Amino acid sequence: MRHETRPTEHRAALSPRDACRLVGHGVGITVEDSPQRVFPLAEYVAAGCSTAPPGSWVTDCPVEHYVLGLKELPPAPSRLLHRHILFGHAYRGQPGARALLRRFADGGGALLDLECLVDDEGRRIAAFGHWAGYAGAALAVLHHRGVLAAPLARSTRAELDRRLCPPRRPGDVNALVIGAGGRCGLGACEALRTAGIEPTRWTSADTEMPDRSAVLAHDILVNAIGTGVPVPPFLTEDDLDDPGRRLSVVCDVTCDVGTDRNALPVYDHVTDWDRPVDRLRTRPRPLDLIAIDNLPSLLAAEASRAYSAALWPHLLDLGGEESAVWDRCRLAYRSALDAAGHR
């Protein structure tokens, strides 16, 4: 398991507890040291894992080993020899997708994208969605109250919930969650309820012909819907200038900016932990955007434990000849290579 090179990424794909379970099944695990990972390296050592310096997978990891991570790979090496397990964000035309696939094709490695780790019905087997929605909605509420500090620091669920407690004089705040029936949406709704706000909930049926005037009538919008095909936009540039707009905070959990699936084509870059909020409009009233593409890192311990608990049993099947779950990942990778002209 490699060190995450993004300084604000605190999560781990595998917790020490579940690493211990894998070791108990005879799986050898090496964990790179990482200064920002939420779990101390000593806990992995106690679980029976070997250790290595950050980034040592590049030079010291045998090519037949799998390299497990979460977010983007460092820019070097240019040729990727290993089989990497991570969220590649490379199959939907995202910025940098072709370059990443070229690195795998040139090196002979493979991308086993965690987005493609699905069951027979196409549902994600392991996902951070709940905590992404929870964190995103929580940040939106705190910003609406004017108490969101920057830069943002890693938190715990208990600490965040204390901050979300409804004020003694709660105002008339209404929120809309788009995609309320999915993992992200359910997490967003839970955070809003913790804050004393009962949200309006849109499911996929409500997005077929979205009522943008209804969107504008809310104070807070949390977009938590993920789609595999283009959909009508939930907001347009003209909507932002509507003189009757009440909407003042948008949190885009999906962060599909740069793709044809972007249902919020009113911004062109994500925000980050140092500057979590961008102002989209000052008139007729301020409208601010939160679009952090690794929201679960805010609640790194809770998110990592939940994700790892769902992932680790499938890591046992990595070397198996018959694993439909990993076969789907391999097929998605080969299909992406073909579509990019890299094979």
Residues noted as catalytic: 71, 89
Cross-strand partners of 52: 32
Per-residue burial over 113-149, b = 16 or more CB atoms within 10 Å of its CB, e = otherwise: bbbbbbeeeeebebbbbbbbbbbbbbbbbbbbbeebe
First-last CA distance in the chain: 28
Alpha-carbon distance of 336 to 255, in angstroms, equals 21
Alpha-carbon distance of 37 to 10, in angstroms, equals 5
Residue in this structure with the two tokens 């990497």, named with its chain if needed: 84
Contact 269, 204 (CB under 8 A): no
Contact 181, 133 (CB under 8 A): no
For helices 157-164 and 129-144, angle between their N-to-C axes, nearest 10 degrees? 30
Task: Indicate the burial class of 92 (C-beta count within 10 angstroms; 0-12, 13-18, 19 or more).
Answer: middle
SS3 assignment, position 311: helix
Task: Write the DSSP string, 144-209.
Answer: HTT---SS-----HHHHHHHHSPPSS-----EEEETTTSHHHHHHHHHHHHTT---EEE-GGGGSS
User: In angstroms, how far apart are the furthest CA atoms of the chain?
Assistant: 64
Contact 336, 90 (CB under 8 A): yes
Residue in this structure with the two tokens 């920002």, named with its chain if needed: 36
- Which residues have C-beta within 8 Å of that of residue 240, sequence separation ≥ 6? 266, 280, 281, 287
